[in-house]
Amino acid sequence: MKIAFTTSDRVHINAHFGWARQIEVYEVSDEGYTFVETLTFDGDLKEDGNEDKITPKLDALGDCTIVYVLAIGGSAAARLIKKGVTPIKARSEEEEIAEVLTKLVQTLKGNPPPWLRKALKQKDTNFADELENEATV
Calculate the average pLDDT of the chain.
85
**pTM for the whole structure:** 0.83
Q: Which CATH superfamily is domain 1-109 in?
A: Dinitrogenase iron-molybdenum cofactor biosynthesis domain (3.30.420.130)
Which of the four pLDDT bands, split at 50, 70 and 90, describes residue 117?
Answer: confident
Written as one letter, the residue type at 62 is G
Residue 17 has pLDDT above 90, yes or no: yes
Which of the four pLDDT bands, split at 50, 70 and 90, describes residue 133?
Answer: very low
Annotated domain spans of the chain: 1-109
Residues 62-93 have pLDDT tens digits of: 999 999 999 999 999 999 999 999 999 999 99
For residue 18, give every residue at least 6 positions away whose Cβ sits within 8 Å of its Cβ, in sequence order, or none: 45, 46, 53, 54, 72, 73, 76
Residue 74 has a pLDDT of 93
Rounded distance between C-alpha atoms, residue 47 and residue 19, angstroms: 8
Residue 129 has pLDDT above 50, yes or no: no
